[in-house]
Amino acid sequence: MIEDQKKYIEIIAKELNYQKLYNFVSSSSCGAIDIFIGTVRCHAEGQSVKAIEYHGYPEMAEKELALICENAMKKWPVYRVAVQHRLGLFQLKESIVIIMVSSAHRA
């Protein structure tokens, strides 16, 4: 896990924790929180999908996600960003990643 005042990044094998990420990004100085939830769909690149399995090296993945978050914070007026990504075997419609971003304005 990587956590500082501006970003929270975690690769996990358990359920995504929406409330934990929301609590991290929310602030009385922010008027917007954008939420992205990635799920398993029934197709990819023209092929049928029944399930998907993610393997990874959490420490390296967290560092790469931290770089992506830092670049986004340089480009846009993001207050905080939080990311959780799951590892394991997932069925159709299961949530595998959640990204939350807060900012002072919606524009």
Supply the range of the domain harboring residue 96: 2-103
User: pLDDT tens digits for 46-77?
Assistant: 999 999 999 999 999 999 999 999 999 999 99
| Helix (H) or strand (E) run with residue 64 in it | helix 58-75
Q: Looking at residues 85-99, what average pLDDT do you find?
A: 97
**Ramachandran category for residue 97: left, alpha or beta (phi over 0 → left; psi -120 to 50 → alpha):** beta
The pLDDT mean for the chain works out to 95
- Beta bridge partners, 33, equal 102
Number of domains in the chain: 1
| Helix (H) or strand (E) run with residue 25 in it | helix 18-25
| CATH number of the domain where residue 34 is located | 3.90.1170.40
Q: Are 18 and 10 in contact (CB under 8 A)?
A: no
User: pLDDT tens digits for 20-35?
Assistant: 999 999 999 999 999 9
Q: What is the pLDDT at residue 75?
A: 95
Q: What is the pTM of this model?
A: 0.92
Q: What is the pLDDT at residue 105?
A: 76
DSSP 3-state of 92: coil
Residue 46 is classified by DSSP as T
